[in-house]
Structure 1
């Protein structure tokens, strides 16, 4: 972080801020009546003292000025002025060092300005970046200062595509906004776009024009008043309709080729569409390609037309064409001579001149709606009429290509998410594909998926967490609270309420609730049958430990006491338990007395008095069952499921804690859940090069069984071998299960025996962070 000096909060002089520093320093010196000493009429020291003490006063002011100069520069530049005699010498040295015009830096700044794009910047950040570059260029070369008009053109050139239709509308105003007004308008448009949510597709009849069967539009010839009416609507950019229904149709029939009627009224037998692929490469066939109107140095992308089209009257809708263009001069209204520098580049890089620019009116066949077009290029000799998708969208319209037709809408609202999404670069549309190793098999996230990731948390609580953004990485999705989850039905049926104690601890570890869960009929992978829980009354944070026998309860309490004191930094004051023999032994009692830990027991046959521990065990159990049955995971993974459940529950907001999570209540920080995955889902763990040969598989197919507390990685287990891995290089298939039914598909007897007898797991870890 750059140090700030006490002089007005001024940043110290460095390689990049001389102009800012010199301006601030000049203002400071003038305010302190020191500027005349630095760069004014008093730069020379008086030769001798006089009766008014002129020499003494000069030295005092010079000392103040030198102090200000030396304390507002970085140490690297202090050497340049360490031995100077007067403030003026120091000032001149800095001026020579920094104010000299730097042609290389100027070229870099100008290049950056010409290529600047908005990208991920907001409107405010984008405008600030452009203004900063313009100011730096002006400071380096005052003769090349950039005015507001040019700055607006630069800004418009780099704006995101979604602003172009708005900019086109603003450019049509009679009075153009200033640069500040233009920034405020775009910022308002940006804020409005963020507020808009899902939208719905309007009726097809609301399309300004549409063409079915072929991607082209037909030019409707009309004369007299109709032509004038089209000219007027062209100026207003409105929807033009020909109400002269009695006028004879003068165009050519698409079916039989004769003039005087349309294809829908043709009495001849319908013809099949023939292919008309252009095969000639001669100069005369150049207009069979699609064109760009570009600067002479630029190249053009091309497409070919393969349908049989009436090239004389049809308008070909081309997403690769940068501007409307035609070779028929008679189609244009209000025509004027083209004076720009653009040319039309064909597929073979030949360049064709643009002669005129005008307006026209087009209409699809069998449709009464007509659409005025502005700024249409007249390219002499061109045999095709091209309709630019880029120019239509720049005017605020939306173009949709379907399997059999193309439609142009003035207003369109869409509900569903697109299958693919591209972006507009210059005057073409580009579809880019990106892939990340971890997300290769990741499905679209839904509320049901996050319900399972969060240990089958209730949908009502999930809805609140998403709406209020209570967890980092948890997206905002629509949640249906009436959803029925099979895993929840298996694990949470017949939930019984308990009355909660009114007493609450005032600080962490003041009161600990404990209870033993078990024995579990299904032995875990590590041979565990019991689980003991320790709950902090202050935060309700839960620690769990697994045991083979109840007699291990004291050893687990000792382990918990050591860990809790190290992590929380507090001493356990009270221990609240039931009257189980594992808690009432002489050894347990002596240990508590030794460390001055007081204890509370429940009355006989009243487990409700140990309600906090009982409810927590019930909560852990039902969530554990839900996760196991949702993915048909066998019971031998109950310990892993319990560990994962406790890990997740500790990070979920609780209503009794004013929607703070247990983790946040205890550790004073909001937990992150973006790395959460569905327990028991199929996953693929990457095997490092040094652990396999060249022909071995590069990944191991496993199931996800939890999160590691000491290392940043996912815990995955291979059910066929019983080996477990901790790694961050994991690809998840959260939609798939290892087991296809409630019963596990058992491996061979030797593998099963080795699996059940395994009490230790093999851990392999890549130290790279998950998030």
Structure 2
């Protein structure tokens, strides 16, 4: 309820908070009904309906917790102190930001009532619908899809399901992640011929990384289907594990797609030349094709894919200021996104569509490395007064595609949940003075776009091969 007499914002419901801190001692407040006690304060997100349909989310802080209060109160004076304006009539009262944009709109509780309230879901309900806390724009979709070019994004609008309505800029915007993570290299000659059916020819390549990953992985092995350009990747702790990863991949093809691989192309590296590896392929009747050592052009598709995925992963990691050891999460997410990205070689269809026969939905994609307020189940909370959610870092889709994976601070523990409120323009790992974008939540104190650091050029995204959420790491 909007209250012109309240000096502060108050709520009586702990479920409203996304961040909360108890006071060292209660504050005594005198109300019309006597004395009440303020227990703490924090940040509240209100998910409010728009007149045109849909919802918008606003952040309000500080909001004080008074459990004995009979109704939530929003202080008109607090809004005015923040430089906002009030405009209204008998039908509605609007709180306007400095720019004139409505921040909150209050309506009479009942016809002819003089009490004005705002309709809202609190944070717990908002998280149950995977709410994103701002309107989607071009830059957000560029980040969601792993930093592709504008041309690729245009085709994604036509060849994926649930692509949102966004405005495309006339010129390619600058993107820090692209500038820091993508390195232009001499391209390989394109392969004109393609396999005539899925799994007729599989390309494979292995890449080493200079830093051990979060799970102590040192390598990533990639499998690419020549016909669909669909790809898979698995993180490995040693080169010897490539044999086990290949066994699992071949078994997955036979079980899931009811077919067998006919030909196998690799670069002839040591991990592919062992007697055990040869025996595995020959026992399954797979023809072995190997390029000449140190001539990567002969295995060009695998090399291009590995380069493209590495560029995407690094662009996402740099953009979100994530540590080098998180490369495994970036690689896995790059695969998932790339399999859902239109490719020129497929006449702008996605590898997912060519393999599965239907366009992929991308409504579940979020910006890698962004912040998310993740719902904490009762068993995880410290006590009943603990916040119902916690700010974590989004690190990709959960295995099997059910829910999301997050990194929980301060101990860097992986947390899986299907209930989260995403702020895709806020990156918790970036230093405060280097954040590359503003919060996507409407915030009355954050309206000046000139305060935000610009982004850098998005490199051209050649339509190399993609891949899917990796198999379980070995």
TM range (shorter): 0.5 to 0.7
One of 244, 248, 256 as aligned partner of 1:555: 244
Alpha-carbon distance in 2 for matches of 1:739, 1:702: 10
One of 334, 349, 356 as aligned partner of 1:645: 334
8 A contact 1:627–1:641 mirrored in 2: yes
| 2:149 is the alignment partner of 1:463 | no
One of 651, 666, 686 as aligned partner of 2:355: 666
| 2:414 is the alignment partner of 1:724 | yes
| 2:340 is the alignment partner of 1:654 | no
5 Å-filtered alignment, 1:348-367, equals none
Q: Which residue of 1 aligns with 2:291?
A: 602
| 2:178 is the alignment partner of 1:492 | no
Cα distance 1:440–1:674, how it changes in 2: closer, same or farther (>3 A)? closer
One of 443, 448, 452 as aligned partner of 2:134: 443
Alpha-carbon distance in 2 for matches of 1:441, 1:533: 32
Residues 697-756 of structure 1: per-residue CA shift (max 9 Å, x gap) = 433332100102325100111242232121111122222222234999xxxxxxxxxxxx
Alpha-carbon distance in 2 for matches of 1:616, 1:740: 29
Give the drift of 1:540. Answer: 0.6
Q: Which residue of 1 aligns with 2:119?
A: 433
| 2:194 is the alignment partner of 1:504 | yes
5 Å-filtered alignment, 1:151-300, equals none
Q: Which has the larger radius of gyration?
A: 1
Q: Which residue of 1 aligns with 2:221?
A: 532
Normalized per residue, which structure has more helix? 1
8 A contact 2:178–2:315 mirrored in 1: yes
Q: Which residue of 2 aligns with 1:635?
A: 324
Q: Which residue of 1 aligns with 2:393?
A: 703
| 2:259 is the alignment partner of 1:570 | yes
For the residue of structure 2 that corresponds to 1:664, the secondary structure is helix
Alpha-carbon distance in 2 for matches of 1:320, 1:421: 12
| Structure 1, unaligned runs of 5 or more | 1-160, 163-317, 322-388, 390-400, 404-415, 745-771
Q: Which residue of 1 aligns with 2:24?
A: none
Alpha-carbon distance in 1 for matches of 2:432, 2:286: 46
| 2:143 is the alignment partner of 1:452 | yes
Give the drift of 1:563. Answer: 1.3
5 Å-filtered alignment, 1:52-451, equals 320=90, 433-435=119-121, 436-438=125-127, 442-451=133-142
For the residue of structure 2 that corresponds to 1:575, the secondary structure is strand
Q: Which residue of 1 aligns with 2:282?
A: 593
For the residue of structure 2 that corresponds to 1:600, the secondary structure is strand
8 A contact 2:104–2:118 mirrored in 1: no
Alpha-carbon distance in 2 for matches of 1:626, 1:513: 24
For the residue of structure 2 that corresponds to 1:688, the secondary structure is coil
Aligned length: 336
For the residue of structure 2 that corresponds to 1:669, the secondary structure is coil
User: So what's the TM-score if we normalise by structure 2?
Assistant: 0.65
Give the drift of 1:488. Answer: 0.4
Q: Which residue of 2 aligns with 1:682?
A: 371
| 2:424 is the alignment partner of 1:734 | yes
Alpha-carbon distance in 1 for matches of 2:142, 2:231: 21
- Please report the RMSD computed on the Cα atoms of aligned residues, expressed in angstroms: 3.3
Alpha-carbon distance in 1 for matches of 2:289, 2:105: 63
Q: Which residue of 2 aligns with 1:186?
A: none
Q: Which residue of 2 aligns with 1:155?
A: none
| Structure 2, unaligned runs of 5 or more | 1-50, 53-87, 435-474
Q: Which has the higher contact order (CA 8 A, sep 6+)?
A: 2
